[in-house]
Amino acid sequence: MTVTSKPHWLELEDKICVVTGAASGIGAAIATSLAQVGAHVALLDRDLAGVQSLQKTLAQQGLTALAIGCDTSSEADTLAAASRVRQALGPCEVLINNAGMLRAAGLDQVTLNDWNHVLSVNLTGYLLCARAFSPAMRAIGRGSIVNVASIASLFPQSSSGAYSASKAGVLLLSRQMAVEWGPHGIRSNAICPGMIRTALSARFYEEAGFEQKRAAVTASGRVGEPQDIADVALFLASPRAAYVNGAELSVDGGMSSMLMDMVPRPGYNVAPTLVATPLFENASRTTRGLAGRGSRDASPLSPVPACSSRLGAADSSPSGAVPCLGQPGAAAASHFSDPAGEANAPKP
């Protein structure tokens, strides 16, 4: 996308937009796309250097952006960020809640500290940001909140600690915002990204056959890119989606519709074949390391058995992240993907 003198069909020119987890992955793609259609964008992330770098890149293109270091799990930080946005740019009209993180572990192993930390960023952080920026929307009688959840909010992902639970909470929180704040002109919608390739998950695609296996469990036959989520986020944020409120949109290349193709049917496909996957062992360690540093775009990567399914797939096992067995993302990616590109600048 490029900025032109003609009004863009999304009508987001000069809108004040806030994107959390904007330093990389999906958040960076959304922020960049908003700036390219003429919006004034506030980039929030705990990774201040990361959003400052993006701000510089956008400025070189003549685009307006404001970098703010912000821990979205901190009420004080979110309120301070809201005040700074209002002073520097004006009243917020669009909030993209995208910051997130992952601490991989089974339910019988995850520590209470890790469980609470993930919830504080992935769920409570969305509430704190909404409460900090919605008063400005209420004052002008309009606003749009887009909450980036995950395909893992619809399908439990094993060994992902509190990740799936936190993202499921985001969906109900998003609906509640729509119900309570709709009368004030504020819309709230959620996006559930599927397998999304980000810089932090790129290393996993270097594994021979990994991308092909993931692509095989989507109806579209490919892994998603951050821009796939950004395009949907811009639509939901825009006046073009004026009557869309309380909705949840799965952007997963049709992966969530593939369940029946994963079920063994004599004469059509072969029974699932469980195989050892050393990839997870490495990915798991990486995920924990990234999450410990506050990894952006971290996405739960659970031990995934390969599943040979696709029609007529005789000995092949197109798996990797197998929806039929409950699998999403990659260590620092997003959702059944690589979680939706999330970032609190330390994101999944």
**DSSP conformation class of 72:** T
* Max CA separation in the chain (angstroms): 66
Compute the C-alpha angle 314/318/321, nearest 5°. 150
What distances in angstroms separate CA 309 from CA 214, 257, 258, one per listed residue? 12, 14, 10
Q: What is the reported pLDDT for 268?
A: 82
* pLDDT one-digit tens code per residue, 40-95: 999 999 999 999 999 999 999 999 899 999 999 999 999 999 999 999 999 999 99
4-11 long-range contacts, CB within 8 A, separation 24+: 8/37, 8/38, 9/240, 10/37, 10/234, 10/235, 10/238, 10/239, 10/240, 11/238, 11/239, 11/240
Contact (Cβ atoms closer than 8 angstroms) between residue 337 and residue 328? yes
- What spatial distance separates the first Cα and last Cα of the chain, rounded to whole Å? 26
105-114 long-range contacts, CB within 8 A, separation 24+: 105/159, 105/160, 105/161, 106/158, 106/159, 107/161, 110/161, 110/162, 114/161, 114/162
How far, in whole angstroms, is CA 131 from its chain's centroid?
Answer: 20
Q: What is the reported pLDDT for 6?
A: 67
CA separation for the pair 209, 217 (Å, rounded): 13
In 3D, which of 71, 70, 57, 59 has the Cα closest to residue 28?
Answer: 57
Q: What is the reported pLDDT for 97?
A: 98
The percent of residues in the chain predicted with pLDDT above 90, rounded, is: 69
| pTM metric for this prediction | 0.79
Q: Which residues of the chain have a pLDDT value below 70?
A: 1-6, 270-348
Which residue in the block uniquely carries the two structure tokens 């990740």?
163
Q: Which residues of 60-82 are buried (b: 16+ CB within 10 A; e: fewer)?
A: eeebbbbbbbbbbbbbebbeebb
Q: What is the reported pLDDT for 307?
A: 35
CATH homologous superfamily, domain 16-256+335-341: NAD(P)-binding Rossmann-like Domain (3.40.50.720)
The tokens describing 22, both together, are 């904007």
Q: What is the reported pLDDT for 269?
A: 72
* pLDDT one-digit tens code per residue, 315-325: 222 233 333 32
Catalytic residue numbers read 163
What amino acid is encoded at 148 in this protein?
V
CA separation for the pair 319, 256 (Å, rounded): 14
